Structure 1
Amino acid sequence: MNARKAVAGALHEPYWLGDPARPEPEPALHGTDACDLAVVGGGYSGLWTALRAKERDPSLDVAVLEGGRIGGAASGRNGGFCAASLTHGIRNGADRWPDELHELERLGWENFRAIAETLVRYGIDAEWEAAGELHVATAEWQLEGLAEDAELAFEHGWEPMLMSAEAVRAEVDSPTYLGGLWDPDGVALVNPAKLAWGLADACRSLGVRIYERSPVTGLDEDVPLRLSTRNGRLAARRVALGTGAFPPLLKRMRRYVVPVYDYAMATEPLSAARLESLGWKHRQGIGDRANLFHYYRLTADDRIVWGGSDAVYHFGGRIGDGLERRGAAFEALARDFLTTFPQLEGLRFNHTWGGVVDTCTRFCAFYGTAYDGRLAHASGHTGLGVGATRFGADVMLDLLGLPEADPARARLAMVRDRPVPFPPEPFRYGAIELTRRAMARADRRAGHRGRWLRALDRFGVGFGS
């Protein structure tokens, strides 16, 4: 079966969001309302912020404004990899903040454990699987990086397993695998939509008001701050922005964040025989080590969710439903899938979808305030926000002066620093497209980073999903 046939007839809908158990939407904001804390965005960042605010100060009156549906954007479209890393991987953290990496890893582990404890405390069935992640080398040049990452992880308290080609293929059988690094402790797999819906239920249980289909169209810097929607206004003493890739209410933030489209697919459920042909007994999440990488995992009903390999930026930062439909991307993903798992020839994909990711030049979130400290924001999670958004929520609440602030967080250079801004258009589009092509070329040329990528490395900037 060729790639086109494998995706023919697939439903263009995120697998996770097509669940018939998806909650009915909450009413939109109509008229006027007021609160102590307004949270803009009903994805992970906003929901964690609302939940943590009520846990830190139960007396707070908290309201959430979501432009579409809870978890309907990136939070319901990702691969469901919940990582302990706050820095988009230990290597990125070591390159940027070597002096505080041990502290960042400690805080990341505490945050990761707190997420698991939250699911238990509120009875959230997010299909949590503490299976870890298997990083695989599919080209010889990637093996050295796996070894370096293993050594760095050991230095900071982790216990990954560096694996030969034979060992990794005994875990998951693919002729493309030349080696692997299994992190059994720092990643869990979740159903991303169920996580968002469960967090929303937990928020409501503590008295948080959630308004869906209420996109914020304006922000007035009165005292209190006033947020305008299509049909109402919300006055708030403090505001937390968790809008991800969507245009931020603070214009100055647009220099630092760009929306990047990522694409994914889900197969039909695998039969017992097909599962047996793969091995995959430990059900790890998997990611290869290419610059334009793939990520994939098994679902609770034994489908394979398969995504990545590209990061598409549209001129001017355009976002729209039509940009999620990119047939060439799905066919390319299907070809790569069949190369990775030729024993699954004939398997069909039931779902294809796209989603927009907020990325910044340092690959992990940055934070800040506006309006004399009455507004805080966290942006730029770059595809690893399933876990890190909880940490970012606490940072925003610290910046807003809520109780139980952790002094260790406030001292972090990662919290205080900002990423290098993207250039304005048309240079922005040109630089991003040049970077994307250079990354693809490096993958084809045994990892050799050409002049452009080496220049970006010197300045500590990059681009990805």
Structure 2
Amino acid sequence: MHNNSHFQPFWFSEALKKESDNTVTSLKHDIQTDVCIVGGGYTGLWTAIELKKQQPNLDIVIIDKGLCGSGASGRNGGCMLTWSTKYSSMKKLYGEEEAVKLVQASERAVYEIADFCKENNIDADLRLNGTLYTATNKAQQGAMNGVLEQLSKHEVNSWQEWQHDKVQQEAGSKLHCEGFYSPAAASVQPALLARGLKRVAENMGIKIYENTPMENISTEIPISITTPEGDIFTKKVVLALNAWMLEQFPQFKRNVVLVSSDMAITQPIPEKLNDMGLKDGKTVIDSRIFVHYYRSTSEGRLMLGKGGNYFSYGNKISKVFDSPSRYSKLLRRSFNKLFPKLEEEKFAATWTGASDRSTTGLPFFGQLDGNKDIVYGLGYSGNGVAQTWIGGQILSSLVLEQKNEWSQSGLVSGPKGSFPPEPIRWCGAMMVRNAIRRKECAEDNGKSPLWLDKQLAKFANAAGKADKA
């Protein structure tokens, strides 16, 4: 049976309610396999599905320490966005040609996932209604101009500027003073997508063991993975653990920072949303460093999230990530400011997700300590719902040792850059976070931020926005 006794984030508990068969299979004995994937979220599932598509005879096992999708995959904001707004930082890291390719790949991912859901009857409330990037104060205006110019130069610009009135109308809020729309984006019920991928993977013959944590990995040949009740002997391993990677592989401890993204959702209020202009599933994201993001669901709920709140000391996955949000007051303030007409609407639920923010704001992939039989990917930085599809392409290519655009992508370079050690890192993160809050508060009130706050905020800006989780 599913273990429902502990806290489950809203999307995930909704998804489990819809499953007719809720038996959970855990590993109880030793097994042998060709490929063992550790982590049953989006990255692990897409990798398994891609491997099976290419080599149907491959024996593939996925293990997850909880239920598939119970980590970041089942609790994010469900905003399927692309990397187009990160073009400038990708160009710096990987060069122009590769940056253009990654923008195109990330847009293709959105449509590939939508098609996959249709073909496989995954009802994940996926709505291909695009995204609207807005400014909610004067200081944010013009934030998109530079990157759009560069995208246009390479003919990969899917964005168009909308008239002021249209932005406010379609975003359902008078707070927006500028907006750019791209059709290459969607919203999705993230846990239904994860559980749907699990079902498809099992139907393809992939074996999935839930409530089966990896306790140890021995890199001798054959590689063996120890779980509480059975060992797995395998030729290849894919580590798709995301934020949980840091608990077992300290070598990545300084390459990512665990930071919370906090979300709240209303009861269904379809008529009110309709009257406000929120008529479809487009996602709306503002231009602050710690972004606000929101979207409606097809049953008429409104979900609002905000990035960059709780920074984990020493990258520990703490209880904070598995309970209602401790920032509900902050969420409420933002919600009331954006939607004054909905002040009376209570939140049906709040929750938190751990986002593994890399130094570049982009994920990185590679071989563990140079061992070609053990590959990994992490660091989606809160922008992974569509990008994990790319992760699946990259990791499956690495497992099959193919030389192709995926295995030779700029992202396959291991971690780029590192954060300072503790306690400097945490103190620094707090200083920067609080400076950003003061700066954005001043800007919201039409005032000029303090010089020091602006300088400190640049540290976060260098890695791009603290995206959705």
Contact kept, 8 Å, 1:136 with 1:288, in 2: the verdict is yes
* Bigger mean CA deviation after superposition, 110-119 or 335-344: 110-119
Contact kept, 8 Å, 1:88 with 1:363, in 2: the verdict is no
Q: Which residue is 1:426 aligned to?
A: 423
Deviation, structure 1 residue 323: 4.6
* Bigger mean CA deviation after superposition, 381-390 or 442-451: 442-451
* Bigger mean CA deviation after superposition, 213-222 or 15-24: 15-24
Give RMSD over aligned pairs. Answer: 2.3
Structure 2 unaligned regions, length at least 5: 1-5, 444-448
* Bigger mean CA deviation after superposition, 448-457 or 150-159: 448-457
Letter matched to residue 427 of structure 2 = G
Letter matched to residue 466 of structure 2 = G
Give the match's secondary structure for 1:334. Answer: helix
Contact kept, 8 Å, 2:288 with 2:465, in 1: the verdict is no
Structure 1 unaligned regions, length at least 5: 1-10
Deviation, structure 1 residue 326: 6.0
Letter matched to residue 368 of structure 1 = G
Of 343, 362, 365, the residue aligned with 1:364 is 362
Contact kept, 8 Å, 1:309 with 1:333, in 2: the verdict is no
Letter matched to residue 231 of structure 1 = E
Letter matched to residue 332 of structure 2 = A
Sequence identity (%)? 26
Deviation string, structure 1 residues 395-443 (Cα, Å, up to 9, x no partner): 12222234xx462233333322632112221122122222212322331
Deviation, structure 1 residue 300: 1.8
Q: Which residue is 2:440 aligned to?
A: 443
With structure 2 as the length reference, what TM-score do the two structures score?
0.89
Q: 2-side partners of 1:292 and 1:456: how far apart?
A: 9
Count, aligned residues:
448
Q: Which residue is 1:387 aligned to?
A: 386
Contact kept, 8 Å, 2:64 with 2:210, in 1: the verdict is yes
* Mapping 1:3-402, distance limit 5 Å: 13-19=8-14, 20-22=17-19, 24-85=22-83, 89-99=86-96, 100-155=98-153, 156-184=155-183, 186-248=184-246, 249-272=248-271, 274-325=272-323, 328-370=326-368, 372-402=371-401
Letter matched to residue 257 of structure 1 = V
Contact kept, 8 Å, 2:39 with 2:239, in 1: the verdict is yes
Deviation, structure 1 residue 463: 7.7
Contact kept, 8 Å, 2:43 with 2:389, in 1: the verdict is yes
Contact kept, 8 Å, 1:45 with 1:389, in 2: the verdict is yes
* Bigger mean CA deviation after superposition, 144-153 or 134-143: 144-153
Q: Which residue is 1:407 aligned to?
A: 404
Letter matched to residue 418 of structure 2 = P
User: For residues 358 and 94 of structure 1, do their structure 2 counterparts lie closer, same or farther at Cα, with a shift above 3 Å needed?
Assistant: same
Deviation, structure 1 residue 267: 0.1
Contact kept, 8 Å, 2:262 with 2:325, in 1: the verdict is no
Deviation, structure 1 residue 18: 2.0
Q: 2-side partners of 1:323 and 1:171: how far apart?
A: 32
* Bigger mean CA deviation after superposition, 187-196 or 307-316: 307-316
* Bigger mean CA deviation after superposition, 375-384 or 284-293: 284-293
Contact kept, 8 Å, 2:218 with 2:224, in 1: the verdict is yes
Deviation string, structure 1 residues 71-106 (Cα, Å, up to 9, x no partner): 111111011112233x77334434534412222222
Letter matched to residue 60 of structure 2 = V
User: For residues 131 and 256 of structure 1, do their structure 2 counterparts lie closer, same or farther at Cα, with a shift above 3 Å needed?
Assistant: same
User: For residues 304 and 399 of structure 1, do their structure 2 counterparts lie closer, same or farther at Cα, with a shift above 3 Å needed?
Assistant: same
Letter matched to residue 455 of structure 2 = R
Of 438, 441, 456, the residue aligned with 1:452 is 456
* Bigger mean CA deviation after superposition, 128-137 or 256-265: 256-265
Q: 2-side partners of 1:261 and 1:443: how far apart?
A: 18
Give the match's secondary structure for 2:143. Answer: helix
Letter matched to residue 112 of structure 1 = V
Q: 1-side partners of 2:158 and 2:314: how far apart?
A: 43
Q: 1-side partners of 2:325 and 2:9: how far apart?
A: 15
Q: 1-side partners of 2:400 and 2:328: how far apart?
A: 46
Give the match's secondary structure for 2:407. Answer: helix
Give the match's secondary structure for 1:215. Answer: coil
Give the match's secondary structure for 1:310. Answer: strand
User: For residues 212 and 38 of structure 1, do their structure 2 counterparts lie closer, same or farther at Cα, with a shift above 3 Å needed?
Assistant: same
Q: Which residue is 1:7 aligned to?
A: none
* Bigger mean CA deviation after superposition, 53-62 or 246-255: 246-255
Q: 2-side partners of 1:319 and 1:98: how far apart?
A: 34
Higher relative contact order (CA 8 A, sep 6+): 1
Letter matched to residue 295 of structure 1 = Y
Contact kept, 8 Å, 1:311 with 1:464, in 2: the verdict is no
Give the match's secondary structure for 1:312. Answer: strand
Q: 1-side partners of 2:315 and 2:85: how far apart?
A: 23
Q: Which residue is 2:466 aligned to?
A: 464
Give the match's secondary structure for 1:197. Answer: helix
With structure 1 as the length reference, what TM-score do the two structures score?
0.90
Give the match's secondary structure for 2:243. Answer: coil
* Bigger mean CA deviation after superposition, 391-400 or 376-385: 391-400
Q: 1-side partners of 2:464 and 2:341: how far apart?
A: 36
Q: 2-side partners of 1:95 and 1:298: how far apart?
A: 35
Contact kept, 8 Å, 2:37 with 2:63, in 1: the verdict is yes
Deviation, structure 1 residue 271: 4.2
Deviation, structure 1 residue 380: 0.2
User: For residues 462 and 106 of structure 1, do their structure 2 counterparts lie closer, same or farther at Cα, with a shift above 3 Å needed?
Assistant: closer
